[in-house]
Amino acid sequence: MSVLPQSVEKVINEFSKLPGVGPKTAARMTYHYLRSPNHDAKQLSEALGEMDDTITFCKHCFNVSDKKICDICSSTIRKSNKLCIVEEPLDVVAFENSAVYDGFYFVLGGVISPAEGIGAEDLRFKDLKKRVRQMMDDIDGKELEIIVATNPSLEGEATASYINDMFEKEVKEGTILISRLAMGLPTGADLEYADRLTLKRALEGRRSI
Amino acid sequence: MSVLPQSVEKVINEFSKLPGVGPKTAARMTYHYLRSPNHDAKQLSEALGEMDDTITFCKHCFNVSDKKICDICSSTIRKSNKLCIVEEPLDVVAFENSAVYDGFYFVLGGVISPAEGIGAEDLRFKDLKKRVRQMMDDIDGKELEIIVATNPSLEGEATASYINDMFEKEVKEGTILISRLAMGLPTGADLEYADRLTLKRALEGRRSI
């Protein structure tokens, strides 16, 4: 005899699939929904169902969207000669929330990571090539600026060089300019606690004031 | 213009209602479902919907169940003169998984906690009284053993004394025996790291070997 009703076991089992959520946390989460007075479970259930039905990937940037071409990619006021390459959709959210960027995006879907068995063929490099060609056609000879905004990790760096190699010819011809986000001290950081690599990068990238 | 599609925002919003889950974790959880190849979102959605539709509280013990009287309360092989009072349904699971108890349960639904504004009237004390009377009728004059298994916290202790006071008369008459779970060192603990109160309790509760 199982202690818990089957439908409860099923929900615990589903929550356990979340990264970093063990069976105990999954059980706590499930019991939260059992206790909630205003049918939170039903609300989450409906929200998830709706998301699963309506969400797709934008054909241009591969960000999640409820349209074939997302609002950002179909915007006419964005700079059409700037492409920011990020790892995940949440990175787009971070950029948009900070309102510091006015070009287009491309979501790679991860980074090259031999340790996790993620090779170049698992990411959207073919689609990236297609998108870059398309944008170059659109701006008709003007220089396209590619900003590689992968995370400042080993894998992010490797992926950035891979992208750099991909467009070597165009960079030499001067039709593409590739840059990488600056690395250094984050705002509000304490020098005393900065790690060696961050300090090294901050020193290398020093600018006149 | 919102960065995220509305249906995604909705799911993030629902996950944020979970205790201890902030907007960033909720976003990560939501994106896990967007990335999952085998429609995990749909599966969780269906499991939650089913749970919300089928789950009720057992009329005897108030544990979650898909029946009016749960499997434990309707069991005929359990000792009908033992009642274990716990805070939450997950406590029942803990007892059942350890297979150390063979009586019935009663789920209080929490503990008295003035700090969180939870008074005696918010818990199931009336139902507890009814259940105890019912069990005393069933065992017809034999002594009923009540085991108070609230957590060893300040609130759990206060709730235990409240229960003790509730049945003062019956305890004096010898029709009810109330006990509390032993407190002391947990298995595998290191004496060196035991807190003062645990040590005090372990010393108070020492037994001959």
Residues whose CB is less than 8 angstroms from the CB of residue A52 and which lie 6 or more positions away in sequence, other chains included: B33, B39, B41, B42, B45
Pairing of strands B176-180, B144-148: parallel
Tell me the shortest Cα–Cα distance from B32 to chain A, in angstroms: 7
Residues 75-94 of A with CB under 8 A from B: 88-90, 92-93
Distance CA B208, CA A172 (A): 86
Distance CA A132, CA A139 (A): 11
Picking from B14, B28, B40, B48 by the largest number of A CB atoms within 10 A of its own CB, the best residue to mutate is B48
Residue A146: strand, helix, or coil: strand
Q: Using CA coordinates, name the residue in chain B closest to A72.
A: B3
Encoded tokens for A156: 């992010």
Would you give the DSSP letter of residue A148?
Answer: E
Strands of B104-107's sheet, edge to edge? B104-107, B82-86, B144-148, B176-180
What residue ranges of chain B have pLDDT lower than 50? 1
Picking from A45, A75, A107 by the largest number of B CB atoms within 10 A of its own CB, the best residue to mutate is A45
Cβ of residue B5 closer than 8 Å to a chain A Cβ: yes
> CATH number for the A70-180 domain, one of 3.40.50.2020, 3.40.50.300, 3.30.70.890, 3.40.1360.10?
3.40.1360.10
Pairing of strands B64-65, A176-180: unpaired
Subunit contact A51:B92, Cβ cutoff 8 A: no
Cβ of residue B7 closer than 8 Å to a chain A Cβ: yes
Q: Using CA coordinates, name the residue in chain B closest to A8.
A: B51
Question: Distance from CA of residue A119 to its chain's centroid?
Answer: 17
Architecture of domain B6-54 in CATH? Orthogonal Bundle (1.10)
Subunit contact B89:A29, Cβ cutoff 8 A: no
Subunit contact A50:B8, Cβ cutoff 8 A: no
Subunit contact A55:B66, Cβ cutoff 8 A: no
What residue ranges of chain A have pLDDT lower than 70? 1-2
Contacts of B17 in chain A (CB under 8 A): 36, 40
Contacts of A89 in chain B (CB under 8 A): 31, 34
The upper half-sphere exposure of residue B53, i.e. CA atoms within 13 Å in the direction of its Cβ, equals 8
Encode pLDDT of A158-188 as tens digits.
Answer: 999 999 999 999 999 999 999 998 888 888 8
Distance CA A64, CA A109 (A): 11
Q: How many CB atoms lie within 10 A of CB A164?
A: 14
Would you give the DSSP letter of residue B186?
Answer: P
The pLDDT, as a whole number, for residue A68 is: 94
The pLDDT, as a whole number, for residue A34 is: 86
Tell me the shortest Cα–Cα distance from A178 to chain B, in angstroms: 25
Subunit contact B48:A41, Cβ cutoff 8 A: yes
Question: What residues are paired with B85 via a beta bridge?
Answer: B106, B148
Distance CA B123, CA B166 (A): 13
Exposure string of A59-89, with b = 16+ CB inside 10 Å and e = fewer, is: ebbbbbbbeeebebbeeeeeeebbbbbbbbb
Distance CA B22, CA B31 (A): 14
Q: Using CA coordinates, name the residue in chain A closest to B39.
A: A52
Listed by start position, the domains of chain A span 6-54, 70-180
Subunit contact A11:B93, Cβ cutoff 8 A: no
Contacts of B5 in chain A (CB under 8 A): 54-55, 64-66
Phi, psi of A152, rounded to the nearest 5 degrees: -75, 50
* Cβ contact B126:B63 at 8 Å: no
The pLDDT, as a whole number, for residue A78 is: 95
- Chains A, B: CB contacts under 8 A, how many? 147
